[in-house]
Amino acid sequence: ETGVTQTPRHLVMGMTNKKSLKCEQHLGHNAMYWYKQSAKKPLELMFVYSLEERVENNSVPSRFSPECPNSSHLFLHLHTLQPEDSALYLCASSQDFTSGSNEQFFGPGTRLTVL
């Protein structure tokens, strides 16, 4: 595997379910990100991890819970979601967090549908 991978690619869940999204980066990067992408809206940054420590949490509801066990893996745990949480969830990584020319590499995303 190369680059940034995400599983599953598609997920349908009920509002009472608990599920997890997984992201893995094979680039040796130190920073990882979770984004939410809704139709015709800007990418919304949810969480940032730098060297496995959370550095940003942009007022995300507690029904989304991130976990970064090491610098290569990032999880997003989901529970009691709402239909408006249906979106494309993108994971990204970059060499460092505090660097200007900090190109982010994205995974293919998980298309989440909450019924």
| Interaction between residue 106 and other proteins (CB under 8 A) | yes
Residue of 63, 60, 40 lying closest to 48 (CA atoms): 60
Between CA 72 and CA 104 the distance in angstroms is 14
| Interaction between residue 28 and other proteins (CB under 8 A) | no
Residue of 73, 66, 61, 69 lying closest to 114 (CA atoms): 61
* Residue from the set 90, 93, 110, 112 that interacts with other proteins by CB under 8 A: 90
Instruction: Give the total residue count for the chain.
Output: 115
The structure tokens listed for 45 are: 């940054």
* Residue from the set 32, 89, 109, 110 that interacts with other proteins by CB under 8 A: 109
Binding mask 42-81 for other proteins (x = CB under 8 A): xx-x--x-------x-------------------------
* Residue from the set 21, 36, 97, 114 that interacts with other proteins by CB under 8 A: 97
